[in-house]
Homo-oligomer: A and B are copies of this chain.
Amino acid sequence: MYEARNLPPPGAVAGELAIAPDSPAPTIRVCRYDPDHLTETTEEGALTAESLAPTGGEVVWIDVHGLGDEARLRELARALTIPELALADVVNAPQRSKVDVLPEHLFVLAHQAWRESDGKLGTGQVSLLLGDGYVVSLHDGRSDCFEAVRQRLRNPRSRTTKRGADYLLYALVDTLIDLYFPVLEIFADEIDTLQDEIFADAKTEHQERIFSLRRDLLSLRRGIWPLRELAGALVRDDSDQLDEITEQHLRDCFDHAALLTEMVDSQRDLVAGLNDAYLAAVSNRMNEVMKVLTIIATVFIPLSFVASVFGMNFERDGRPWNMPELALPYGYILFWALCLGVVGVMLWLFRKNRWF
């Protein structure tokens, strides 16, 4: 998220589109419904105001997957009178999440998050435009975030089909925000696993996983954080595009974003705690290693000295003061007794200092 991917070069005039080279060509799925009927088509022909307009109380949902064809996108924008700057914000991802009131649209720019199959965090920008009787959703097609909404529309008892386009906007925003919760739960699980592993046995790879968690949470946070302020933006917006119920539902959504931010902040705090715990574990480990070395060395170095002493070659013939102990009948036994005594005292001292 926000890893400056396809921004136009500096000096580009506003409204210029910087199409990402790997972005697929747009697939435009059009879904028309009223309380009784639902038709889903994939629009492949010319895009005109007429072909896309809702007819008679119908709601039209135009879901665009892939942003890889400038001509097609401009055609869509012309048909729906989407302003040039808004289209640039849609394509030149990443932008900051925001709610804008355009002359004929309510423009919600948000981000979705998902876990890739390899466990990595995927993020993408999703743009929603609420017009008169229709909603346009645009994203780069890497992850289909709105399948759940589509399922729901197909359900004949769904309430969504009984309400207007503004309620569809709400359902889409709500889905986007709700999709963060399972992602956060995976993070929570990973933090728990890391916690158990680090306290059991801290390894170098944990440091990498901590750093990667840190990076992902930072990325998530920046995607969610601006959404907190959106409730306020909606309140100040006096446009008539939202009826009161939808507005209330949307505010509820952005309250969830506030909850999400707090959850992410908590997780960031926990990850910082894990980092501390990791460092403490490494220190503790080194402490253990040093203790083993010290115990072995402090026990055997003096003993080795004693053994070396009795290996000295002082001449003893006629020199009674030179190493008389070598001549003792039980000198060797005494030597071992001395060794055991030293070991015993050492171990007692270590035990007393709680070294093991």
Any chain B CB within 8 A of the CB of A236? no
Q: Which of A65-89 contact B (CB under 8 A)?
A: 85
Please judge, given known A-B contacts A171-B13, A182-B10, whether A255 and B98 are in contact too, CB under 8 Å.
Answer: yes
A28 to chain B, nearest CB (A): 21
- How far, in angstroms, from A8 to B94 measured CA to CA in the complex? 29
Binary B-proximity of A284-321 (CB < 8 A = 1, otherwise 0): 11110111111011101111110111111111001101
Q: Would you call A235 an interface residue if the criterion is a C-beta within 8 Å of the partner chain's C-beta atoms?
A: no
| Chain B residues whose CB sits within 8 angstroms of the CB of A279 once the complex forms | 276, 279-280, 283
A13 and B298 form a contact (CB under 8 A): no
Add 13 more A-B contacts to A13-B152, A98-B255, A207-B284 (CB < 8 A). A7-B181, A9-B178, A12-B148, A95-B259, A207-B281, A211-B276, A214-B273, A215-B270, A218-B266, A303-B305, A311-B312, A314-B326, A322-B332
Pick from B7, B201, B312: contact of A307, CB below 8 A: B312
Residue of B nearest to A11 (CB): B148
A243 within 8 A of B: no
Against B, the Cβ 8 Å flags (1 = close, 0 = not) of A31-67 are 0000000000000000000000000000000000000
Residue in B2, B328, B335, B355 whose CB lies within 8 Å of A266: B2
Contacts of A190 in B (CB 8 A): none
Q: Which B residue sits closest to A177, measured CB to CB?
A: B10
A residues bordering B, Cβ < 8 Å?
2-4, 7-14, 85, 94-96, 98, 146-149, 151-152, 158-160, 170-171, 174-175, 178-179, 181-182, 184-185, 188, 195, 199, 201, 204, 207-208, 211, 214-215, 218-219, 222, 248-249, 252, 255, 258-259, 262-263, 266, 269-270, 273-287, 289-294, 296-298, 300-305, 307-315, 318-319, 321-323, 326-333, 335, 354-355
With A279-B279, A304-B304 as contacts: A159 and B13 at CB distance below 8 Å: yes
